[in-house]
Amino acid sequence: MFMKSSDVAENLYKTHSMPYENISEEIVLNCQAERIFYGDFLAVRDSSVPILKNQITGFIGPSGCGKSTVLKSINRMNDLVHGFRFEGKILFHNIDIYNKKVDPVNVRRSIGMVFQQPNPFSMSIYENVAFGLRLNRYKGNMDEKVEQALRGAALWDEVKNKLKNNGTSLSGGQQQRLCIARAIATEPRVLLMDEPCSALDPIATRQIEELMVKLKERFTLVIVTHNMQQAQRVADQTAFFSVDISQGGRTGYLVEMGPTRELFENPKEQLTEEYLSGEFS
Amino acid sequence: MAMEQQSIWDATDTLSRPVSKRDIFFDKVFRWVTHAFTLGTIFVLFYIVFKIGGKALPVISEFGLEFITSTTWDVNAGKFGILPEIWGTLYSSILALILGGSFGIAIAIFLTQDFLHYRIQIVLKNIIELLAAIPSVVYGLWGIFVLIPLIRPLADYLHNHFGWIPFFSTSLSGPGMFPAALVLSIMILPTVAAISQDALLAVPLKTKEAAYGMGTTRWEAILRVMLPTASGGIFGSLVLGFGRALGETMALAMLVGNSNDISLSVFSPADTLATLLALNFPEAGEYEASVLMYAACVLLLITLLVNIAGATIITRCDCRSMK
C-alpha cells in the first residue's frame, strides 16, 4: 500500500518538480539568533543557521540544547510563550521577521510547521486540508488543491474514499501526513518540522522520511530530530547544537554546521565527535 | 490446592505478603457501600416519579391530553388546563438561554483565551461563579425593586416606538416575561460560563498550536478551531442552563406576573409550570393536589426530554472528537 501511494506522489512531482541542477546554494532564510530568552532564562545563544533552498536542514543535539527553540523562533511560534524574547535577526527574503512592523501571523502563513505530536483539527479530513486555503481566502478549485496536497503528503490513496471522516479518526502516521498535507496545501516557502516522527512507529517514520525527501523538491525543509540515523538518512545539511552549563544555566548553542556527510564523517569540533560517537547524550 | 498456594509465600527473599483477610473485608465492604448508594439514588428517582405519577393518575385519566391543550384554570368550575404555563415555561427559558447563553459563552472565551493576566482571569472567574451563590429569592427581590424600575423606561420606549412588533405589543405594567427572563438569564449565566470555560480549557494545547501554526489571528483561532473543538461541552453547558431555567421557581414566582395568558409580547405577565405549582399547593384540596401532580409530571417530562436530547448530542459530539 505504501509503495503504491509513494508512486503516485512521485508521478505528481514529475510534473511539478524542478530539474535537479536548479537546486542551488541559495540561502532562503538566515537565522542569526544571538540570544533567546524565556523570562530571565537564557535558552539559546550565538546560533547562526543559514537555511538553504530546496534542501533539508537537520537540527540535532542532546535534550535541552535549544534546537526546538530555534526552530520555533523561525516562524514566531515562540511568541505564544510568555516571557519569550529573541535577540538577533532572522532574514527571510531580506526582511527581518522580528522587525516590529512584521505581523507574526503573516510569518506563520509563509513558513509552515509540523509538530511533534500529530495535531489534526477535530473536523473532516477534507476540512483539515482546506483549513489553510480558506484562511488565506483561496478562491480557486478547492477540491483540486485538497487532492493535490493529500497526494503531496502521500495520503490520498488511503483517504480518498473517506474525506468526510474526522481527521482524528486516522492512525498516528496518517494523522501526521494529514498535518503535512494541511501545512503544504497553502504552499509555504519553508516547512518546519519539530521531531515529526517521535510519536510514530518505524513504518510510519519511514513513510514520513521518504515523503520529506520528495517534499524538498518543492519546499525548503528544516527538521529537528533526536535520531541521528534519521538526520543522516534525510538531511542535506546538519546543525549540531549542544548545552553550555558553564554559566550556571543550561544554555543551548550551535556547535557546528555543515553538509551532513561531512559533519558525520569529519566533525571539526571535538564535542560533535564525542556526541556522534555516543560518548554522551 | 491450598498447599500449593501457600508455598509461593514460603520464600524468605521477598517482602511481599499475601492479601490479608482484613484487606479483603474492606475491599468487599467498600464495594457494597458504593453499590448501595448508587442503587439508593436510582431508587429515590423512581420512587419520586412513581409517587407523583400515581397521585396524578386519576386526573390524567379524567382530563387526558385536554389538560395540556386547554387554557382555562378555574378551580370552582373544576376546569384545568396548563397550556399557558407550558408556553410561559418554554418562552421564559428560551429567552433566558439566548441572553444568558450568549453572555456566558462570551465570558468563557474572554476568560480562557489569554486576553487577561492569569491571576485576573482567576479572580473574574470566581466572581462570576459567585452569581450562582445568590439565593433565588434574593434575585426575585432585586428584580422587583431594582430591575423592573430600571427597565421600565426602555420597555416604554420599545412599546411606544416598536409596538407593531409582536414582542413589544403590550406595555410593561410591572412584573412580566421580560424582567423574569432577564433575571433567569443572570441565574443560568454562571452555569453556562463555568462549563464552557472547562470545555475551552480542555482543548489540547497541540490543537491551539496547530491553529496558530497555520497563521490564524486570535479570532480566527477561536472561531474556526477552539469553539468547534469545544462545541460538545459548550452545548452541554447550554442544555444544563436551559434545564435550570425550566425548573426555576422562586424568582419567577416573584417576577413573572402569574397571569394565565399566552402572549408573544415580552412585556406582558405570564406564568410558568414551576410557579403554578408553588403558588397553588397551599390551598389545594386533595383533588386539586392531583391536578398539580399532573402538571408536575408534565414539567418533569419536559426537563427529562431536554436532558436526554442534550446528553445524546453531547455524546455524539464527544465520540467524534475523541476518536
Chain-chain contact of A135 with B228 (C-beta, under 8 angstroms): no
CATH architecture of A2-276: 3-Layer(aba) Sandwich (3.40)
Helix (H, G, I), strand (E, B) or coil at A204: helix
User: CA nearest A133: which of A124, A119, A122, A146?
Assistant: A146
Cell of B323: 476518536
pLDDT value, residue B6: 57
CB-based contact, B217 to chain A, within 8 Å: yes
Chain-chain contact of B214 with A119 (C-beta, under 8 angstroms): no
Question: Alpha-carbon distance A220 to A55, whole Å?
Answer: 6
How is residue A18 annotated by DSSP? P
Question: Alpha-carbon distance B6 to B2, whole Å?
Answer: 6
Q: Which residues of chain B have pLDDT under 50?
A: 1, 320-323
User: Facing residues of A49 across strands?
Assistant: A31
Cell of A38: 524565556
Q: Let me know: does A205 contact A195? Beta carbons within 8 Å.
A: no
CATH of the domain at B200: 1.10.3720.10
Beta-carbon-side half-sphere exposure of residue A83 (alpha carbons within 13 Å) = 7
Chain-chain contact of A109 with B204 (C-beta, under 8 angstroms): no
Q: Is residue B219 part of a domain?
A: yes
Name the minimum distance, in Å, from the CA of B203 to any CA of chain A.
10
Residue ranges of A 109-148 with Cβ closer than 8 A to chain B = 109-110, 112-113, 115, 117, 119-123, 131-132, 135-136
Question: Alpha-carbon distance A219 to A221, whole Å?
Answer: 6
Of the partner residues A122, A135, A182, the one whose CB lies closest to the CB of residue B320: A122
Beta-carbon-side half-sphere exposure of residue B53 (alpha carbons within 13 Å) = 8
Q: For chain A, percent helix, then strand, then coil, each to nearest 5?
A: 40, 25, 35
In which element (H, E) is residue A56 found? strand A56-60
Nearest CA in chain B to A75: B213
Question: Alpha-carbon distance B290 to A143, whole Å?
Answer: 63
pLDDT value, residue A119: 93
Q: List Cβ<8 Å contacts ≥24 apart for B146-155.
A: B147/B179, B147/B182, B147/B183, B148/B172, B148/B174, B148/B175, B148/B179, B148/B255, B151/B178, B151/B179, B151/B182, B155/B267
Residue found by looking up cell 479530513 in the block: A125
Helix (H, G, I), strand (E, B) or coil at A105: helix
Cell of A271: 564535542
Chain-chain contact of A75 with B213 (C-beta, under 8 angstroms): yes
Chain-chain contact of B213 with A122 (C-beta, under 8 angstroms): no
Domain that holds residue B196: 86-283
Q: What are the boundaries of each domain within chain A?
A: 2-276
Phi, psi of B284 (to 5 degrees): -75, 130
Are β-strands A251-259 and A41-52 bridged in parallel, bridged antiparallel, or unpaired?
parallel
Q: Which residues of B touch A166 (CB under 8 A)?
A: 320-321, 323
Of the partner residues A121, A166, A182, the one whose CB lies closest to the CB of residue B323: A166
Q: Which residues of B touch A80 (CB under 8 A)?
A: 209, 212
Q: Let me know: does A61 contact A242? Beta carbons within 8 Å.
A: yes
- Torsion from C-alpha of B51, B53, B54, B60, nearest 10 degrees: 160
Full-model pTM: 0.80
How is residue A20 annotated by DSSP? G
Give the ipTM: 0.83
HEC states along chain B?
Answer: CHHHHHHCCCCCCCCCCCCCHHHHHHHHHHHHHHHHHHHHHHHHHHHHHHHHHHHHHHHHHHHCCHHHHCCCEECCCCEECCHHHHHHHHHHHHHHHHHHHHHHHHHHHHHHCCCCCHHHHHHHHHHHHHHHHCCHHHHHHHHHHHHHHHHHHHHHHHHHHHCCCHHHCCCCCCCCHHHHHHHHHHHHHHHHHHHHHHHHHCCCHHHHHHHHHCCCCHHHHHHHHHHHHCHHHHHHHHHHHHHHHHHCCHHHHHHCECCCCCCCCCCCCECCHHHHHHHHHHHCCHHHHHHHHHHHHHHHHHHHHHHHHHHHHHHHHHHHHHC
Residue found by looking up cell 467524534 in the block: B320
pLDDT value, residue B263: 86
Beta-carbon-side half-sphere exposure of residue A229 (alpha carbons within 13 Å) = 5
Nearest CA in chain B to A110: B215
Digitized pLDDT (tens) for each residue of chain A, 281 residues in all: 333 434 433 433 333 333 334 445 788 889 998 999 998 888 898 888 999 989 999 999 888 888 899 999 999 999 888 889 999 999 988 889 998 888 989 999 999 999 999 999 999 999 999 999 999 999 989 999 999 899 888 899 899 999 999 999 999 889 999 999 999 999 898 999 998 888 888 888 888 899 889 888 889 999 999 888 899 999 999 999 998 887 777 889 999 999 998 899 888 888 888 888 876 54
pLDDT value, residue A279: 62
Number of domains in chain B: 1
Nearest CA in chain B to A179: B210
pLDDT value, residue B323: 37
Residue found by looking up cell 477561536 in the block: B222
User: CA nearest A197: which of A187, A184, A207, A189?
Assistant: A207
Nearest CA in chain B to A130: B214
